[in-house]
Structure 1
Amino acid sequence: MPGVAEPVLKLVRRTTEPVAAQILRSTGAAVIAYVVATATLSEPAPLTAPLTALLVVQVTLYATVNMGIKRVNAVVVGVLIASGFSALVGLSWWSLGVTIFTALIIGRLVRVDEFVPEVAISAMLVLGVTSVAAMAWERVFETLIGAGVGLLFNLLFAPPVWVQSAGASIDGLAREMGQMFRDLGSDLARPVTVAEAAERLHRARRLDHDIVEVDASLQQAEESLMYNPRVRQGLLHRVVLRTGLDTLEICAVVVRVLSRTLTDLAKDRVDEPLFPAEVAAHITELFEQMAGAIESFSVLITTPVAASAEEAEERLADALTASRTTRDRVADMLLAAVQEHPRKWQLHGALLAEVDRILDELDIEKRAERLGQELDRRSADLHERHPRLLAFRRRLGLVKGAAQEKRAEVEVEVL
């Protein structure tokens, strides 16, 4: 089943993206911004306000706030630049060029990202009018109205939380990796052509593309949890999903290396099975158990319900225990086989090392340790960025001790 993850991603996006809701939200925000601007400003056609609202209303509240701040910043900077040049030199071909050049440079310095051209556009529009001061303030007010309406719209009609679609993407990736293990195991007891082994290797390499798409889906989910009034402990959800995807990414790399090891064995054993029948049967069983472990790990990190997560953790623990037992049995059999036929013995050792690496990455205790480290790192970042807020909470008695402080930081959601 090659390429399972990509169709899963596309299916999830088609069925969960509220396209109609996003269109209605953007249209409504733009119209309301225009009505408010028309009622409060003297500009006959204040189109900057609906344009700003249209750009500001995004699929996540975090993106809305981020976009609104950047656009307002870009317009204000552009207006200030134009006001300064207009007072000094007025409008001419060379002053226009200097204004644009200066606006683009300052736009990059103030870090408005994709709104760097907006700095120059605002400067040009203001520079080209006779009443500079009036035009400057009108444009700033229009932008503030559009940004405010867009933000208010997303506060009242909160965008969806994208954790479910990100979880489905991660689950699709894990199932593809699990199916790869099953397919690799089915080839061990028979002669495998070099072309067949190479195809397995190319399929493993394509996992990199799937991981990129899953990462994009997870980034959207992480943004949807930030600043969202419907979400509690959003930081914890983000950390669980992110560390889980990091683990699966490491496993994908090891799967690629494992596929290369089996490809090298296939090149050496063209007309014979990769392993003796008894050894192949146990390695196939091991791969089946590892496939179950990867899929159980995916369920564990994507399941928000505590009872279901406990059940998934139990299944993962059972799969890891069974895999380690089978792995020891396979190691003994491979050692005996190598002592009898030492040809390509190093590939047998590489196979066991790659299996050990995956089992180690999926280990439950290691996952808990990684979660703790990431939460500690996020907490330390939060201390550095918002020391006064946390000190104020401590004085009020809202934070007592490191553990409660971490929980409080998660609930505050100021990241």
Structure 2
Amino acid sequence: MPRLTPQTARAARAWASEGWQALVLGWRPDWMNLVRVTTAAVLAYVITRAVTVGPIDLTCSLTAILVTQASATGSLRMGMVRVGAVLTGIGVALVVSIWVGLSWWSLGLVIFVSLLLGSLLRLGPQALETPISGMLILGASLQNTAAETRVLTTLIGAAVGILLPLLWPPAIPVGAAAASVRTVARRQADVFAAAADDIDEGRLTGESIAAHLRAARDVGDDLGRAGELVGRVSEMWQWNTRTIGRADVSPLLRSGLDSLQDCAAATRALFVALGHEARDEDVDGAPEFSDEVRAAVAVVLRDVGSCIDSFGALVEAETSGDQERRRVLLDDNMELLRETRAILTDLMLMESGGGPTDQWLLRGSILRAVDRILQVLDAPARAAQHARWRDEQGRRVLPGPTISREFAPLDRAVLTSLRRAWRRTRRSGAVGGAGAAPTRRP
């Protein structure tokens, strides 16, 4: 039975931990969204019972569920498109159910007309919600309910579905988006750290570099997930009452993610160049690098990973206002990387002096990839960009992690001040009671 290397064991433990976290977090429901949709359905039914007389069906609740789910996600424009798609399907189903009821040909008619109207109204990807809503309403119309009552209940459900997300808006996942950007930076830093460890332990082989190149390309999945979360924050920020008086941090997250994407491209180019420089394990010959250059390459890779990791921490801290300490750390790591990069350049120049030109061009591509990462992660440029963003936002406060919670807890400082005030009140009351004259019992 083959033995596991320490690197393989660490990778297995990390994979098991990340897989378990993904499994636990993946099935966790959005409780507030469940409560919001349920409240809309019940509220629409209660209002319908209060304003109508006689038997009613559940068209009001069904319409409220469909419209609430449509209007609570995305920007105002996308929400209105989805609401329009739902109401179009509901309108077609109401006309058909009032006049002919449910049959195989009326079902086909509702689907065809709904798709046709969705195409004419240019609803795009939301066009499928039109026949879906129509089929649901058509199926709910089997009860013997007056046509005017069904129209009224549909309008009540639509009004509740539109107004409830405005009065009780969905939470914006700012903290989750910032954490996803931080995860991308950490994954890239882990790739560089693992490559540096391998170079320190042995020769620079083609197989090991190919493995690290695959790991660098796998970071693209994390980039995609982070991009979806950041895009969701940007869309949900519009016309959401939770954002009143709060600074829009989505541009910071987007620019930080774009920088990490540029770093990912430079990372792949760097490992491709290292792969051309390396050779296979079964090939004998002179080492690809001298011991000094190999050690310097490992140090540079490790420093690059530290810079990317500190940049991700800075982007995450910018959403909560704790970026000064992170910016100082990034400055220090960048300065250290410039020094180690200069040492590596001198060693490569001395080693390749008088050698073939293509060898120096190949090693120069490694240095150019490092320079690209230095350019992308420039801390002063990031600080200037943050200052321009701060001027645009004015005096709006940062959202922090509490904007992604439905009911944010009181701040620790507020609780401490309240506790101290309560203690002073008790102490003053005790002192006053001690100094007061005792009363005699009758």
Are positions 1:260 and 2:272 aligned together? yes
Are positions 1:208 and 2:234 aligned together? no
Work out the CA distance in 2 between the residues paired with 1:90 and 1:26.
28
Q: Which runs of structure 2 are paired with 1:272-311 in the superposition (5 Å)?
A: 273-304=287-318, 308-311=322-325
Gaps of 5+ in 1: 376-402
Check conservation: 2:206, 2:280, Cα contact below 8 A: no
TM-aligned CA distance change 1:198 to 1:330, over 3 Å? same
Work out the CA distance in 2 between the residues paired with 1:45 and 1:87.
14
**What is the deviation of 1:92?**
9.6
Are positions 1:11 and 2:21 aligned together? yes
Q: In the alignment, what sits opposite 2:403? A: none
Deviations 1:233-252 (A, max 9, x none): 65631000111111111111
TM-aligned CA distance change 1:72 to 1:140, over 3 Å? farther
Deviations 1:322-368 (A, max 9, x none): 21122122112112211254373332011011111111111124435
**What is the deviation of 1:127?**
11
Work out the CA distance in 2 between the residues paired with 1:18 and 1:88.
41
Are positions 1:244 and 2:241 aligned together? no
TM-aligned CA distance change 1:119 to 1:410, over 3 Å? farther
Work out the CA distance in 2 between the residues paired with 1:242 and 1:6.
30
Q: In the alignment, what sits opposite 1:218? A: 230
Work out the CA distance in 2 between the residues paired with 1:19 and 1:280.
50
Q: What is the identity, as a one-letter code, of the residue corresponding to 2:119? A: R
Check conservation: 2:270, 2:369, Cα contact below 8 A: yes
TM-aligned CA distance change 1:192 to 1:278, over 3 Å? closer
Q: In the alignment, what sits opposite 1:163? A: 174
Give SS of 1:46's match. Answer: coil
Q: What is the identity, as a one-letter code, of the residue corresponding to 1:147? A: G
**What is the deviation of 1:308?**
2.6
The 10-residue stretch of structure 1 (231-240 or 72-81) with the greater mean CA deviation from structure 2: 72-81
Identity level (%):
29
Give SS of 1:308's match. Answer: coil
Q: What is the identity, as a one-letter code, of the residue corresponding to 1:280? A: R
Aligned residues between the structures: 380
Work out the CA distance in 1 between the residues paired with 2:342 and 2:225.
36
Are positions 1:180 and 2:195 aligned together? no
The 10-residue stretch of structure 1 (350-359 or 87-96) with the greater mean CA deviation from structure 2: 87-96
**What is the deviation of 1:279?**
1.4
TM value normalised by structure 2: 0.70
Q: In the alignment, what sits opposite 2:440? A: none
Check conservation: 1:75, 1:140, Cα contact below 8 A: no
Q: In the alignment, what sits opposite 2:347? A: 333
Q: In the alignment, what sits opposite 2:118? A: 107
TM-aligned CA distance change 1:179 to 1:220, over 3 Å? same
**What is the deviation of 1:121?**
3.5
Work out the CA distance in 1 between the residues paired with 2:267 and 2:288.
17
Work out the CA distance in 2 between the residues paired with 1:307 and 1:75.
41
Work out the CA distance in 2 between the residues paired with 1:409 and 1:137.
47
Work out the CA distance in 2 between the residues paired with 1:67 and 1:41.
32
Are positions 1:351 and 2:366 aligned together? yes
**What is the deviation of 1:97?**
5.2
Equivalent of 2:393, from 407, 410, 413?
407
**What is the deviation of 1:67?**
7.4
Check conservation: 1:78, 1:103, Cα contact below 8 A: yes
Work out the CA distance in 2 between the residues paired with 1:320 and 1:29.
53
Q: Which runs of structure 2 are paired with 1:376-387 in the superposition (5 Å)?
A: none
Q: What is the identity, as a one-letter code, of the residue corresponding to 2:59? A: T
Are positions 1:25 and 2:36 aligned together? yes
Equivalent of 1:116, from 107, 126, 130?
130
Q: In the alignment, what sits opposite 1:386? A: none
The 10-residue stretch of structure 1 (58-67 or 263-272) with the greater mean CA deviation from structure 2: 58-67
Work out the CA distance in 2 between the residues paired with 1:8 and 1:59.
32
Q: What is the identity, as a one-letter code, of the residue corresponding to 1:351? A: I
**What is the deviation of 1:182?**
1.5
Work out the CA distance in 2 between the residues paired with 1:55 and 1:95.
22
**What is the deviation of 1:138?**
3.0
Q: In the alignment, what sits opposite 1:231? A: 243
Check conservation: 1:188, 1:280, Cα contact below 8 A: yes
The 10-residue stretch of structure 1 (354-363 or 257-266) with the greater mean CA deviation from structure 2: 257-266
TM-aligned CA distance change 1:167 to 1:304, over 3 Å? same
Check conservation: 2:196, 2:302, Cα contact below 8 A: yes
Gaps of 5+ in 2: 1-9, 400-442
Work out the CA distance in 2 between the residues paired with 1:233 and 1:172.
28
Q: In the alignment, what sits opposite 1:44? A: 55
**What is the deviation of 1:11?**
3.2
TM-aligned CA distance change 1:81 to 1:251, over 3 Å? same
Q: What is the identity, as a one-letter code, of the residue corresponding to 2:223? A: I
**What is the deviation of 1:261?**
1.8
Check conservation: 1:12, 1:169, Cα contact below 8 A: no
Work out the CA distance in 2 between the residues paired with 1:119 and 1:183.
52
Work out the CA distance in 2 between the residues paired with 1:69 and 1:208.
32
Deviations 1:20-50 (A, max 9, x none): 4443333333222222223224573432332
TM-aligned CA distance change 1:170 to 1:86, over 3 Å? closer
Work out the CA distance in 1 between the residues paired with 2:20 and 2:177.
12
Q: In the alignment, what sits opposite 1:379? A: none
The 10-residue stretch of structure 1 (319-328 or 9-18) with the greater mean CA deviation from structure 2: 9-18
Check conservation: 1:30, 1:54, Cα contact below 8 A: yes
Work out the CA distance in 2 between the residues paired with 1:119 and 1:27.
18
**What is the deviation of 1:122?**
7.8
| Rg (Cα) greater in structure | 2
**What is the deviation of 1:51?**
2.5
Q: In the alignment, what sits opposite 1:319? A: 333
TM-aligned CA distance change 1:104 to 1:53, over 3 Å? same
